[in-house]
A = this chain, B = another copy of it.
Amino acid sequence: MQRYFVQAFDGDTVTLAGNDARHISRVMRMAAGDSIICSDGSRTARCKLQEITNEKVSANIVEWMHESQELPVSVTIAQGLPKADKLDYIVQKGTELGAAGFLPFAAERSIVKWTKEKSEKRVARLEKIAKEAAEQSHRQTIPSIYPPVTFDDLLQKGEQYQLKIVAYEEEAKNKEDNDLPNVLKTISHGQSILFVVGPEGGFSKEEIEQLKEHHFHICGLGPRILRTETASLYFLAVVSYETELMR
């Protein structure tokens, strides 16, 4: 069944406008009586369509759905600004895999630079991608897209998280030192985690030293060298495995 995120429920009815109304009327060509699923971020309900126009769609709530597709832990992906449209891909796949938010940051080896104007456009585009991916993967919440920060800001923001992990390929080479499983064994329900990935060129020695000083765990993700857009997907998959399938 098609899913839509709504601003709010109004008693036992709900109203959809803008792109969602156009999607229901023109793309899906739904009719009164058809069913959709609506979520306001905290509650989800199966709804029956009442009135449909290209601008506005009204529906009645048929039943509240008690489901949880959300990860038991809140994972924010801090991504060193990558080239081209890689961030679009990281947000789409990371949303499918349960990420709670995405925080781009300008790393020493980030080649692209975001101006304030470009930043606003890109964040809006990433929010649209996250909304569509959240609907497609049947999630109740849309991940947050944060405007890009500097590396120093990233170190400061880290203080807001209960667990801070950095993916560092040099660490992958000495398997013995790899403590990702030990770190993940310690995470508990509701915990907030910040997972940091460098840009294409990786982190500089200085950046890694600063992250260590700020108590970030340095972890490898196996012996193969992963592209920057693949590291966060590996991490989210194993967090799901640890917290949703193994426990």
A binding-site residues for B, Cβ under 8 Å: 68-69, 93, 96-98, 136-139, 175, 178, 180-181, 220-227, 230, 233-234, 237-238, 240-241, 244-246
Contact = CB atoms under 8 A, between A and B. Distances in A.
Contacts of A241: 180-181, 222, 237-238, 241
A72 to B, nearest CB: 10
B230 A93 contact: yes
A224 B138 contact: yes
Number of copies: 2
A93 B96 CA distance: 16
B96 A227 contact: yes
Interface centre among A93, A237, A244 (most CB of B within 10 A): A237
12 contacts: A93-B230, A96-B224, A96-B227, A96-B230, A97-B230, A97-B234, A136-B227, A137-B226, A139-B224, A181-B246, A233-B237, A237-B241
B180 A245 contact: yes
Given A93-B230, A96-B225, 12 more contacts: A68-B223, A96-B230, A98-B224, A138-B224, A222-B241, A222-B245, A230-B233, A233-B234, A234-B237, A237-B237, A237-B238, A238-B238
Nearest to A89: B89
B97 A245 contact: no
Contacts of A175: 244-245
